[in-house]
Structure 1
Amino acid sequence: MNRKNKWIIYGIGLSLLLGGCMNMDNEKKNVDSKEATGPYKDTFVRVQDYTGEGYVLRNGEDADKIAEEKSDEVQKAAKDFFMEKYKTDVKVHNIVGNVDGATVFVESTGPVHFYTTAIVPIDLSQKKVMKNEVVSLEGEVESAIRGGLYHLMFEKEFAELDQYLEKIVAENKVVGKTREAIEKVGGTGYMTPYYFITTSSSDEAIKPVFDEYIKNPNTPPSKLKTLFDVDKFSVENLKINLQLFMEEEDVEPSKELFNQIPKDLREMNSIPKGSYSLIINDNLINEKVDDGYKENSLRIGVPDYIVIK
C-alpha cells in the first residue's frame, strides 16, 4: 500500500464523523450512531455550550499529543498544502490527532467561502511531521469549493434562506450549532449554524466555475458568476442540509416545526433551487463526535428530499 493511500484510509474515520446524517451518504451516518453508543454514549452536552472542544478521532491520542507539541509545523504543512494544490489561503481553526497523524480543520479566507480539512501525517516513533505528504480525503476539498461557489453564484437566494431560518429560530424555541463548533470541527464545505451544502462531482453546471477557480482563485466573483451553466443545473447535484436543535433541555424535537418547514420551503420562490434535507434534534449534541442525531431525532432526507425546482 503506498503511503498516500495509507493516510487516506486513516482519514476515513473523519469522513464518517463529518456532515451528520443528512448528507447523501446515509450508511456512513449509521456507523456514527453505532459509535456513539459505545465509549462516547454518555458524552452529550447542550448544543449552546458546544464549541468543538472534546472532539476526537478514533485512536488519535498519541498523534494528538505530538500534533499539539508541533502545532506550528502542522499548521504550516496544512496551509502550504492548500496553497500549493488549490492556490487557496486558509486559516487553521483546530488540529485533532487521528490514528497516525493530525486532521487539520481550516477555513478559506477569500470570497469563495468554505470549511474543509487536511490530513498531516506524523511519524509517531520519531515525532516527525511529514510535511511533504499532506493529503485530503478524496473529493472532500473539491466538494467544499463547489459549495462555496454555489453560495457565491446565488448569494441573494441564500440570503433569503438565511432570513427565513433566522425567523424560524427567533419565533420558535430552536437553535443551531455555535459558530465556534463550525470552525473547530465542521469541515464540511459552506456552513452556517443552521445548514451546510454538499455537492456532486458530476455536476456539469458548476464545472466551468470550479475549473476557473482552480486555475485562478483570484478570478473576480463577477466573472465566476458568468461561467455558471444554468441550463445544465440539476437539483440532485446541490444538497442543502438543514439542522436545528431544541433550545431547551428535556424537550422532544418539535413535530410542528418538522411539518411546517418543508411546507414553507415548497411555497418559497426566492430560495436556492436544490434538494433539501432536514433534521431536528433535541437539545443535546455528542461532544466527542459532533453529532446530535439520536433515536428521537426527526429527519427528512435520502431518498425523500424536499425538492425545490
Structure 2
Amino acid sequence: MNRKNKWIIYGIGLSILLGGCMNMDNEIKNVDSKEATGPYKDTFVRVQDYTGEGYVLRNGEDADKIAEEKSDEVQKAVKDFFMEKYKIDVIVHNIVGNVDGATVFVESTGPVHFYTTAIVPISLSEEKVKADEVVSLEGEVESAIRGGLYHLIFEKEFAELDQYLDTFVKEHKVVGRTIEAVENVGGTGYMTPYYFITSSSSDKAIKPVYDSFLENPDTPVSELKAQFAEDEFSVEDLKINIELFMEEKDSEPNEELLNQIPSDLKGMTGIPKGSYSLTLNDNLINEKVDDGLKDNSLEIGFPDYIEIN
C-alpha cells in the first residue's frame, strides 16, 4: 500500500468498514482535493527531521482529543485485540484520531517483526472508547505477518540487502526515513527506514508457515523455515518496496542514482528473491500525510518491477 492510499483509507475511517452511509467515491475525491489544494498542500519538512509529529487524519480532531484523554483505554483495547485475534503482543507507538475513532500504530514483539495498525471506535457524543469493537483494515495485519515471516525465514538474505542499502546511502547523498517515523506512522508490515515488504494473500509458498504461526506463535523458527513451500514461490507474490530521499534540502531526485540501484541488485546473488520497486524523492516529506511522493519523484515499479529470481 503506498503512502497516499494508506492515508486515504485511514481517513475514511470506520463508517465504510462498518457499513455506514458514507460514499467511498465522494470521500476519496474529497481527500484528493484537500490534499491538492487544502491546508496540507505545502506542509513539508526535511525527511531527516520527520518523526511522525504532525501526522493527521481527515476530520479526526474531535476523536483525537478524546483518544488522548483516554489513551490507557485505547492502548489496552488494541493490545487485547491483537492478543485475542492473533496471539501477538504489540507495542503501541502512536494514536491518531480519525473521523470515527482512533487509528493506532503498533509494532509486534517477538521474532516475527512488523508494524501495523488497528482502529478503535469512539463515541464522540458519549466520549466513550468502544473497546470491544476494535477492527483492522481488511487483510492488512495478515499481510504484515506474512512479511514478518518472510524476513524471519530469509534473515540472512535481508541482512545482505540491508548492508547494501546502508553502504549505498553512505556513499551517495541519499537518506531514508527516521526510525521514529517508521514507528509512529509506518504501519505497513515489516519496515526499515529504506523499504517495506508486502506479500500477496494468494502466496502459496508462505501459507503453511503463516498457518503454523497463527496456530502457535511460539513455533520454533527452525520449524517455520522447514514449512516454507519453496517450489510454490513466485517473485510476483513478494514485493520489496524501496524508498529513498535526496540528502540535501534543495536537491532534485537523481536519475543516475535511481538507475544504479536496479543494476546493483541484479548483479547480487545473496539478496531476497522477489519483485522490487524503487522510489527516489527530493529531500522533503509532507508531515501531515506522511508522503514524500511528488511530481518530481522518480519511480521504478508496476508494471515494470525489478525481478530478482
Q: Give TM-score, length-normalised by structure 1.
A: 0.90
The Cα of 1:136 is off from its aligned counterpart by 0.1
What is the alpha-carbon distance in structure 1 between the residues aligned to residue 32 and residue 168 of structure 2?
28
The Cα of 1:6 is off from its aligned counterpart by 3.6
CA contact 2:15–2:100 (8 Å) conserved in 1: no
Aligned residues: 288
- Find the counterpart in structure 1 of residue 69 from structure 2: 69
Secondary structure of the residue that 1:132 maps to in structure 2?
helix
What is the alpha-carbon distance in structure 1 between the residues aligned to residue 129 and residue 275 of structure 2?
41
What is the alpha-carbon distance in structure 2 between the residues aligned to residue 68 and residue 34 of structure 1?
25
Equivalent AA in structure 2 for residue 115 of structure 1 = Y
Q: Within 5 A, what are the aligned runs for 1:24-39?
A: 35-39=35-39
Secondary structure of the residue that 2:133 maps to in structure 1?
coil
Q: What 5-or-longer segments of structure 2 have no aligned partner?
A: 1-12, 21-27
What is the alpha-carbon distance in structure 1 between the residues aligned to residue 298 and residue 39 of structure 2?
24
Equivalent AA in structure 2 for residue 250 of structure 1 = D
The Cα of 1:39 is off from its aligned counterpart by 2.2
1:300 equivalenced with 2:300 (yes/no): yes
CA contact 2:118–2:135 (8 Å) conserved in 1: yes
- Find the counterpart in structure 1 of residue 48 from structure 2: 48
Secondary structure of the residue that 2:242 maps to in structure 1?
strand
Q: Within 5 A, what are the aligned runs for 1:103-118?
A: 103-118=103-118
Distance 1:5 1:122, change over 3 A: closer
Higher relative contact order structure (alpha carbons within 8 Å, sequence separation ≥ 6)? 1
What is the alpha-carbon distance in structure 2 between the residues aligned to residue 153 and residue 226 of structure 1?
9
- Find the counterpart in structure 2 of residue 217 from structure 1: 217
The Cα of 1:197 is off from its aligned counterpart by 0.3
What is the alpha-carbon distance in structure 2 between the residues aligned to residue 280 and residue 231 of structure 1?
34
Equivalent AA in structure 1 for residue 236 of structure 2 = E
- Find the counterpart in structure 2 of residue 14 from structure 1: none
The Cα of 1:169 is off from its aligned counterpart by 0.4
Equivalent AA in structure 2 for residue 8 of structure 1 = L
Equivalent AA in structure 2 for residue 194 of structure 1 = Y
Percent identity of paired positions between Structure 1 and Structure 2: 78
Distance 1:61 1:34, change over 3 A: closer
- Find the counterpart in structure 1 of residue 6 from structure 2: none
Distance 1:32 1:140, change over 3 A: farther
What is the alpha-carbon distance in structure 2 between the residues aligned to residue 74 and residue 268 of structure 1?
45
Equivalent AA in structure 2 for residue 199 of structure 1 = S
Distance 1:32 1:220, change over 3 A: farther
